[in-house]
Structure 1
Amino acid sequence: MAQGNCNCGSITVTLKTPPDSTILCYCANCRRAGGGPCSSNYMLDSNDIEVQDANGTLKSYKDSNTKSGNYITRQFCGNCGSPVQSLMPPPSTMVFLKAALFDHIPTPAYEAFVEDKESWINVTQKTA
């Protein structure tokens, strides 16, 4: 079992089995949402994630400014601002859970939107 949390601890996330790899996303929206050159994510089914929001601080933003034209719902802690997860539109149950919520982040296995990757980032992985 793995447990992660936002910076203020209001939101905790529990996974029965911690993933053994992550996906790096370089899209501009993930960079802006996370404040870095990329976002490190676990791609999981929502049924495999337990999100507890003790103080009711989980907020959602429907992001329709995407390259695909599809929207995703970005969820974050309204108290400390920590990104929590990005939800795909229904009927998909897939979630991009933010790996930074956890103390240990496994090695990336894939990269997404590599065309937006900054040239100074030297990470060589398979592309998604």
Structure 2
Amino acid sequence: MTAHNHARGTCLCGAVTVSVAQPAASVGACHCRMCRKWGGGPLLAVECGTEVSITGEDSVMVFDSSPWAQRGFCKHCGTHLFYRLKEAKQYHLPVGLFDEAPEFSFDQQIFVDEQPAYYRFANDTRNLTGAEVFALYAPPAD
């Protein structure tokens, strides 16, 4: 997967700016119950690695959504800013956050076993169940 060079985005009110050194070239959808509850639908996100800088950090609220991940949002306007893996400090940013996003390809869907029947994407994507995601990415048990 090829990465794009630098991307920038802001929250709705402009209190928070997020800059990414090397966002991935692809967008993935997460259909898990938590992402759907967080945003009202699937999370469409870009893997952004660890080289993410945030200005306006005093306006960022972080919620520990699981033992391994956090979700960040602007405490003023509520814009979703990131999903971050705690141990790896790896960020996934909502694709709509970017001000001038490069051309992305939509190539992966995860937690497809939790996807409700009322929507479907037509794109040809790699599809993983929740169990497959945990097998690939979950941190090792203590």
TM-score (norm 1): 0.81
- Partners in 2 of 1:107 and 1:99 — Cα distance? 11
Distance 2:23 2:91 in 1: 14
- What value does the CA root-mean-square deviation take over the aligned residues? 1.9
Contact 2:23/2:49 (8 A) holds in 1? no
Q: Secondary structure at the match of 1:29?
A: helix
The alpha-carbon distance between structure 1 residues 117 and 102, as it changes in their structure 2 partners (threshold 3 A), is: same
Query: Is 1:100 aligned to residue 96 of structure 2?
Result: yes
Which structure has the higher relative contact order (CA within 8 Å, separation 6+)?
Answer: 1
Rounded Cα–Cα distance in structure 2 between residues aligned with 1:44 and 1:96:
6
Alignment of 1:1-128 (within 5 A): 1-35=6-40, 37-46=41-50, 48-53=51-56, 56-64=58-66, 70-90=67-87, 92-103=88-99, 104=101, 106-119=104-117, 120-123=119-122, 124-128=124-128
User: Runs of 4+ in structure 1 displaced over 6 angstroms?
Assistant: none
Amino acid at match of 1:42: V
Gaps of 5+ in 1: 65-69
Q: Distance in 2 between matches of 1:86 and 1:18?
A: 14
- SS of the counterpart of 1:32? helix
The count of aligned residue pairs is 119
Structure number with the higher helix fraction is: 2
